[in-house]
């Protein structure tokens, strides 16, 4: 998540595949992916924050100090996601939509695209080829992550949605339930409901690196600790969950 590693009830719509794969008991197969340190070997929100400092949008010392404090809170499981999103979107809000779009295109080309590993692309592709319904479920905001989801060929993005003011530009507030911790379960349920589905209709595989995602990992039929943090790796071993190392794990 954060500049570090976050929805309104608005979620990127997922077009139902022509022939969705089903589990042995007839439930529809769904594959959910966390993004930061799961599909990416970095934290897209944190990387975006560093990028905005590099291009002169933020004061290096002040931004780094505040960003590192939020990141420590995230790792400790005590992040105030609303306060963080206000902080993380401040530079974008001040620059406006045109400059923000141009900067994000450069961010994708210089930071994100070079970081996407073939192993991560192959994992998503394997589920797509089986006909699974796929979504990326991230605690990072949609401004940062929508182009990244598109780079993975994933249409359904469940991310922290940003409220917009009368001028149509972001305000720094969160619109709806943030897709963070327990909020990921709520947001996935909303996404399923948009397709006329409930939890009993689907067989869910969820890939994540973080103990912050325990609520959704525990709700999934197949939780997969992916490039897990030390805490999640230990928990996954104790519970007999699958552990998948796509690339080097983070601390």
The pair phi, psi for residue 8, each rounded to 5°, is -65, 175
Q: What is the pTM of this model?
A: 0.88
Residue 212 to residues 132, 175, 207, Cα–Cα distance (Å): 25, 21, 12
What is the SS3 assignment for 129?
Answer: helix
Is 239 inside any structural domain? yes
What's the domain count of the chain? 1
Residues 11-24 pLDDT 10s: 444 444 445 677 77
Q: What domain range is 117 assigned to?
A: 28-244
Is 81 inside any structural domain? yes
Average the pLDDT over 205-223 and give the result.
97
Is 36 catalytic? The answer is: yes
Is 167 catalytic? The answer is: no
In CATH, what number is assigned to the domain containing residue 240?
3.40.50.1000
Dihedral angle, C-alpha 121, 126, 127, 128, nearest 10 °:
80
Provide the pLDDT for residue 24.
72
- Select which of 25, 34, 43, 73 is catalytic: 34
188 bridge partner residues = none
Residues 95-133 pLDDT 10s: 999 999 999 999 999 999 999 999 999 999 999 999 999
Residues in the chain: 251
Is 1 inside any structural domain? no
């Amino acid at each position: 998540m954060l500049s570090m590693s976050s929805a309104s009830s608005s979620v990127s719509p997922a077009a139902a595949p022509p022939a969705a794969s089903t589990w042995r008991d007839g439930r529809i197969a769904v594959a959910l992916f966390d993004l930061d340190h799961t599909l990416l070997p970095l934290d897209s929100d944190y990387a975006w924050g560093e990028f905005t400092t590099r291009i002169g949008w933020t004061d290096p010392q002040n931004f780094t100090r505040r960003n590192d404090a939020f990141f420590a809170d995230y790792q400790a499981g005590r992040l105030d996601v609303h306060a963080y999103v206000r902080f993380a979107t401040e530079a974008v809000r001040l620059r406006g939509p045109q400059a923000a779009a141009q900067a994000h295109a450069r961010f994708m080309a210089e930071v994100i695209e070079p970081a996407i590993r073939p192993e991560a692309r192959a994992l998503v592709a394997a589920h797509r080829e089986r006909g699974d319904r796929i979504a990326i479920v991230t605690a990072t905001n949609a401004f940062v992550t929508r182009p990244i989801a598109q780079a993975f060929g994933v249409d359904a993005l469940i991310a922290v949605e940003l409220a917009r003011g009368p001028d149509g530009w972001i305000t720094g507030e969160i619109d709806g339930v943030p897709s963070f911790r327990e909020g990921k379960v709520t947001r996935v349920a909303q996404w399923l409901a948009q397709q006329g589905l409930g939890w009993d209709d689907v067989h869910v595989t969820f890939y994540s690196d973080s103990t912050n995602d325990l609520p959704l990992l525990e709700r999934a039929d197949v939780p997969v600790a992916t490039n897990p943090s030390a805490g999640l790796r230990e928990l996954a071993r104790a519970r007999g969950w699958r552990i998948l190392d796509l690339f080097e794990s983070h601390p």
